[in-house]
Protein backbone atom coordinates (compact mmCIF):
# COMPACT_ATOMS: atom_id res chain seq x y z
CA UNK A 1 0.00 0.00 0.00
CA UNK A 2 2.88 2.38 0.78
CA UNK A 3 4.30 2.07 -2.73
CA UNK A 4 0.86 2.69 -4.25
CA UNK A 5 0.44 5.79 -2.09
CA UNK A 6 3.88 7.05 -3.10
CA UNK A 7 3.02 6.52 -6.76
CA UNK A 8 -0.26 8.37 -6.30
CA UNK A 9 1.20 11.37 -4.49
CA UNK A 10 4.12 11.55 -6.93
CA UNK A 11 1.65 12.70 -9.55
CA UNK A 12 1.15 15.95 -7.63
CA UNK A 13 4.78 17.14 -7.92
CA UNK A 14 6.85 17.86 -10.99
CA UNK A 15 8.98 15.11 -12.60
CA UNK A 16 12.04 17.27 -11.92
CA UNK A 17 11.32 17.40 -8.20
CA UNK A 18 10.68 13.67 -8.06
CA UNK A 19 14.01 13.08 -9.78
CA UNK A 20 15.69 15.31 -7.19
CA UNK A 21 14.13 13.22 -4.41
CA UNK A 22 15.64 10.07 -5.94
CA UNK A 23 19.05 11.69 -6.34
CA UNK A 24 19.18 12.97 -2.75
CA UNK A 25 17.97 9.64 -1.31
CA UNK A 26 20.94 7.88 -2.90
CA UNK A 27 23.25 10.01 -0.77
CA UNK A 28 21.28 9.75 2.49
CA UNK A 29 22.49 7.60 5.37
CA UNK A 30 21.23 6.22 8.66
CA UNK A 31 24.61 4.67 9.46
CA UNK A 32 25.58 7.94 11.14
CA UNK A 33 23.00 9.77 13.21
CA UNK A 34 23.16 12.94 15.31
CA UNK A 35 21.97 13.43 18.90
CA UNK A 36 21.41 16.97 20.19
CA UNK A 37 21.10 17.23 23.95
CA UNK A 38 19.35 20.25 25.45
CA UNK A 39 20.32 22.85 22.83
CA UNK A 40 18.84 26.23 23.81
CA UNK A 41 19.94 28.65 21.06
CA UNK A 42 17.66 28.44 18.00
CA UNK A 43 20.49 29.59 15.72
CA UNK A 44 22.69 26.67 16.79
CA UNK A 45 19.86 24.16 16.60
CA UNK A 46 18.93 25.32 13.12
CA UNK A 47 22.50 25.43 11.85
CA UNK A 48 23.07 21.82 12.91
CA UNK A 49 19.91 20.68 11.11
CA UNK A 50 21.05 22.49 7.98
CA UNK A 51 24.44 20.79 8.22
CA UNK A 52 22.83 17.36 8.64
CA UNK A 53 20.74 17.88 5.52
CA UNK A 54 23.73 19.10 3.50
CA UNK A 55 25.86 16.08 4.44
CA UNK A 56 23.11 13.47 4.03
CA UNK A 57 22.48 12.65 7.70
CA UNK A 58 18.80 11.71 7.71
CA UNK A 59 18.00 11.09 11.38
CA UNK A 60 18.43 13.60 14.20
CA UNK A 61 17.56 12.72 17.80
CA UNK A 62 16.58 15.70 19.91
CA UNK A 63 16.71 15.55 23.71
CA UNK A 64 14.76 18.24 25.56
CA UNK A 65 15.51 18.26 29.28
CA UNK A 66 15.37 21.88 30.43
CA UNK A 67 15.41 23.56 27.02
CA UNK A 68 12.83 23.32 24.26
CA UNK A 69 14.35 22.73 20.83
CA UNK A 70 13.41 25.70 18.65
CA UNK A 71 14.20 26.16 14.96
CA UNK A 72 15.12 29.51 13.43
CA UNK A 73 13.61 29.29 9.94
CA UNK A 74 15.97 31.84 8.43
CA UNK A 75 19.00 29.83 9.54
CA UNK A 76 17.61 26.34 8.87
CA UNK A 77 16.33 27.26 5.38
CA UNK A 78 13.73 24.50 5.59
CA UNK A 79 16.20 21.74 6.49
CA UNK A 80 13.88 20.22 9.11
CA UNK A 81 11.39 19.51 6.30
CA UNK A 82 13.78 16.93 4.84
CA UNK A 83 15.04 15.31 8.04
CA UNK A 84 13.56 12.66 10.31
CA UNK A 85 13.45 14.28 13.76
CA UNK A 86 13.01 12.11 16.85
CA UNK A 87 12.20 14.00 20.05
CA UNK A 88 12.61 12.89 23.66
CA UNK A 89 10.77 15.38 25.84
CA UNK A 90 8.98 13.60 28.64
CA UNK A 91 9.18 14.79 32.25
CA UNK A 92 12.47 13.08 33.18
CA UNK A 93 15.30 10.81 32.03
CA UNK A 94 15.06 11.93 28.41
CA UNK A 95 18.79 11.52 27.82
CA UNK A 96 18.80 7.98 29.17
CA UNK A 97 15.75 7.02 27.12
CA UNK A 98 17.32 8.38 23.95
CA UNK A 99 20.57 6.52 24.51
CA UNK A 100 18.85 3.24 25.36
CA UNK A 101 16.68 3.52 22.25
CA UNK A 102 19.72 4.13 20.05
CA UNK A 103 21.68 1.26 21.59
CA UNK A 104 18.73 -1.06 21.04
CA UNK A 105 18.83 -0.02 17.37
CA UNK A 106 22.49 -1.04 17.16
CA UNK A 107 24.19 2.34 17.50
CA UNK A 108 27.36 2.97 19.47
CA UNK A 109 27.18 6.23 21.40
CA UNK A 110 30.02 8.64 20.63
CA UNK A 111 30.16 11.81 22.73
CA UNK A 112 31.92 14.92 21.46
CA UNK A 113 33.70 16.15 24.57
CA UNK A 114 37.27 16.22 25.95
CA UNK A 115 37.91 12.96 27.80
CA UNK A 116 40.94 11.02 28.93
CA UNK A 117 40.08 8.18 26.55
CA UNK A 118 38.97 10.29 23.58
CA UNK A 119 39.91 9.73 19.95
CA UNK A 120 40.95 12.41 17.50
CA UNK A 121 38.49 12.91 14.66
CA UNK A 122 40.87 11.91 11.81
CA UNK A 123 41.53 8.59 13.57
CA UNK A 124 37.91 7.69 14.24
CA UNK A 125 37.00 4.20 12.97
CA UNK A 126 33.62 4.03 11.25
CA UNK A 127 33.94 0.34 10.39
CA UNK A 128 33.18 -0.65 13.99
CA UNK A 129 29.44 -0.10 13.51
CA UNK A 130 26.60 2.39 13.27
CA UNK A 131 27.41 5.62 15.05
CA UNK A 132 25.37 8.14 17.02
CA UNK A 133 27.32 11.38 17.50
CA UNK A 134 26.19 13.33 20.57
CA UNK A 135 26.54 17.11 20.81
CA UNK A 136 25.76 18.66 24.18
CA UNK A 137 24.27 21.93 25.39
CA UNK A 138 26.16 25.13 24.56
CA UNK A 139 27.59 25.92 28.02
CA UNK A 140 27.60 22.76 30.18
CA UNK A 141 28.21 20.34 27.30
CA UNK A 142 26.94 16.77 27.47
CA UNK A 143 25.23 15.60 30.64
CA UNK A 144 26.65 13.19 33.18
CA UNK A 145 24.16 10.62 31.90
CA UNK A 146 25.63 10.79 28.42
CA UNK A 147 29.17 10.63 29.79
CA UNK A 148 28.32 7.49 31.73
CA UNK A 149 26.48 5.82 28.86
CA UNK A 150 28.84 6.76 26.02
CA UNK A 151 30.78 3.96 24.35
CA UNK A 152 33.47 6.27 22.95
CA UNK A 153 34.58 9.90 23.03
CA UNK A 154 35.56 12.04 20.06
CA UNK A 155 37.71 15.15 19.93
CA UNK A 156 38.41 17.64 17.15
CA UNK A 157 42.12 18.53 16.93
CA UNK A 158 42.77 22.19 17.79
CA UNK A 159 45.91 24.34 17.82
CA UNK A 160 44.77 27.60 19.40
CA UNK A 161 44.15 28.98 22.87
CA UNK A 162 40.38 28.43 22.73
CA UNK A 163 39.38 25.05 24.12
CA UNK A 164 36.26 24.36 22.08
CA UNK A 165 34.27 25.21 18.95
CA UNK A 166 30.72 26.50 18.83
CA UNK A 167 28.35 23.52 18.60
CA UNK A 168 27.25 24.33 15.06
CA UNK A 169 30.88 24.55 13.94
CA UNK A 170 31.74 21.30 15.73
CA UNK A 171 28.86 19.52 14.02
CA UNK A 172 29.89 20.84 10.61
CA UNK A 173 33.51 19.70 11.03
CA UNK A 174 32.64 16.27 12.40
CA UNK A 175 29.88 15.50 9.92
CA UNK A 176 31.87 16.68 6.91
CA UNK A 177 34.82 14.47 7.76
CA UNK A 178 32.76 11.42 8.69
CA UNK A 179 30.38 11.70 5.72
CA UNK A 180 33.36 11.92 3.36
CA UNK A 181 35.14 9.02 5.06
CA UNK A 182 32.12 6.72 5.06
CA UNK A 183 31.71 6.91 1.30
CA UNK A 184 35.26 5.66 0.83
CA UNK A 185 34.75 2.60 3.02
CA UNK A 186 33.76 -0.21 0.66
CA UNK A 187 33.09 -2.61 3.56
CA UNK A 188 30.38 -0.32 5.04
CA UNK A 189 26.82 -0.50 3.74
CA UNK A 190 25.99 3.11 4.55
CA UNK A 191 23.13 3.80 2.16
CA UNK A 192 19.46 3.52 3.06
CA UNK A 193 17.52 0.33 2.38
CA UNK A 194 14.75 0.43 -0.21
CA UNK A 195 12.16 0.33 2.56
CA UNK A 196 13.84 3.26 4.34
CA UNK A 197 13.92 5.21 1.09
CA UNK A 198 10.21 4.63 0.55
CA UNK A 199 9.35 5.78 4.08
CA UNK A 200 11.37 8.98 3.68
CA UNK A 201 10.12 9.66 0.17
CA UNK A 202 6.55 9.44 1.45
CA UNK A 203 7.46 11.89 4.23
CA UNK A 204 8.92 14.30 1.66
CA UNK A 205 5.87 14.04 -0.59
CA UNK A 206 3.56 14.78 2.32
CA UNK A 207 5.67 17.80 3.26
CA UNK A 208 5.79 19.09 -0.33
CA UNK A 209 2.14 18.86 -1.35
CA UNK A 210 -0.52 21.22 -0.06
CA UNK A 211 -3.30 19.42 1.77
CA UNK A 212 -1.57 16.10 1.18
CA UNK A 213 -3.56 14.61 4.05
CA UNK A 214 -6.81 15.16 2.16
CA UNK A 215 -5.39 13.60 -0.99
CA UNK A 216 -4.14 10.67 1.03
CA UNK A 217 -7.47 10.14 2.79
CA UNK A 218 -9.31 10.20 -0.55
CA UNK A 219 -6.86 7.71 -2.05
CA UNK A 220 -7.13 5.30 0.88
CA UNK A 221 -10.91 5.54 0.79
CA UNK A 222 -10.92 4.71 -2.92
CA UNK A 223 -8.58 1.79 -2.33
CA UNK A 224 -10.86 0.53 0.42
CA UNK A 225 -13.89 0.80 -1.85
CA UNK A 226 -12.07 -1.09 -4.59
CA UNK A 227 -11.14 -3.83 -2.16
CA UNK A 228 -14.76 -4.16 -1.02
CA UNK A 229 -16.02 -4.30 -4.59
CA UNK A 230 -13.49 -6.98 -5.47
CA UNK A 231 -14.61 -9.12 -2.54
CA UNK A 232 -18.26 -8.79 -3.59
CA UNK A 233 -17.52 -9.99 -7.14
CA UNK A 234 -15.72 -13.02 -5.80
pLDDT digits (tens, 9 = 90+) for 13-32: 999 999 999 999 999 999 99
59 with 110, same domain? yes
Neighbours of 159 (CB within 10 A): 5
- Residue 112 labelled as part of a binding site: yes
The rounded distance, in Å, linking the Cα atoms of 165 and 135 is 11
β-bridge partners, 133: 34, 110
Q: Containing domain of residue 23, as a range?
A: 1-28+198-234
147 with 53, same domain? yes
19 with 50, same domain? no
Residue 206 reports pLDDT greater than 90: yes
Instruction: Please say whether the beta carbons of 171 and 51 come within 8 A.
Output: yes
142 with 113, same domain? yes
pLDDT at 233 (0 to 100): 34
pLDDT at 232 (0 to 100): 33
The rounded distance, in Å, linking the Cα atoms of 228 and 234 is 10
13 with 37, same domain? no
pLDDT at 87 (0 to 100): 95
The rounded distance, in Å, linking the Cα atoms of 219 and 196 is 22
173 with 115, same domain? yes
134 with 22, same domain? no
Cα distances (Å, whole numbers) of residue 161 to 140, 157, 174, 215: 19, 12, 20, 57
* 185-208 as b/e: b if 16+ CB within 10 A: eeebebbbeeebbbebbbebbeeb
Assess if residue 87 is contained within a domain: yes
79 with 161, same domain? yes
Instruction: Please say whether the beta carbons of 143 and 65 come within 8 A.
Output: yes
18 with 37, same domain? no
Residue 78 reports pLDDT greater than 90: no
Neighbours of 28 (CB within 10 A): 22
Specify the range with the lowest mean pLDDT, choosing from 65-79, 116-130, 217-231. 217-231
50 with 62, same domain? yes
- Residue 156 labelled as part of a binding site: yes
pLDDT at 137 (0 to 100): 84
16 against 222, higher pLDDT: 16
Residue 196 reports pLDDT greater than 70: yes
Specify the range with the lowest mean pLDDT, choosing from 69-78, 175-184, 192-201, 208-217. 69-78
16 with 53, same domain? no
- The total domain count for the chain is 2
Assess if residue 189 is contained within a domain: no
Amino acid sequence: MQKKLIEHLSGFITPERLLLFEKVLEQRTAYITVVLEDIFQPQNASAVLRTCDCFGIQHVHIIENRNKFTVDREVALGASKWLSLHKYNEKKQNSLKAIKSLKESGYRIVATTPHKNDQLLPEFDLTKGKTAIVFGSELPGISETIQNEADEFLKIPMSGFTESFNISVSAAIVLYQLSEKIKKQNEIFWQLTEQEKDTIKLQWLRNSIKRSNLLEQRFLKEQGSTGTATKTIR
